[in-house]
């Protein structure tokens, strides 16, 4: 048979909590260049992942080609994880940074 616990003070307890919680920390998804995917592959996967126009996706694909990488998305970590996973569906290489 279970006993019901009573709320009795057990003594004085001082708890010092010194934590900083950052809410709304923005992260970024970086897409890296490779030698396997065509421009069309990258463009159409970007449209799917970040829900952008063809022109914006093409601009990102060109930046990846020329500079080796492009920041393709900014947002909350959960959204970055979703974007990254969609890009990686076709084995594109991504990184999430904060």
Widest CA span in the chain: 72
Q: What is the pLDDT of residue 21?
A: 47
- Every domain of the chain and the residues it spans: 27-97
- The reported pTM is 0.75
Q: What is the pLDDT of residue 23?
A: 60
Q: What is the pLDDT along the chain (98 residues), one digit of tens a residue?
A: 545 545 555 556 555 555 454 566 899 999 999 999 999 999 999 999 999 999 999 999 999 999 999 999 999 999 999 999 999 999 999 999 99
The 10 Å Cβ neighbour count of residue 62 is: 14
What topology does CATH give the domain 27-97? Answer: Ribosomal Protein L30; Chain: A, (3.30.1390)
């Amino acid at each position: 048979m279970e006993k019901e616990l009573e709320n009795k003070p057990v003594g004085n307890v001082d708890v010092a909590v010194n934590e900083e919680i950052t809410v709304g920390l923005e992260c970024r998804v970086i897409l890296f260049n490779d030698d396997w995917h065509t421009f069309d592959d990258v463009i159409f996967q970007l449209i799917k992942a970040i829900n952008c126009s063809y022109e914006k996706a093409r601009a990102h694909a060109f930046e990846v080609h020329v500079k080796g990488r492009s920041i393709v998305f900014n947002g909350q970590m959960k959204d970055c994880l979703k974007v990254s996973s969609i890009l990686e569906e076709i084995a594109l290489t991504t990184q999430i940074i904060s």
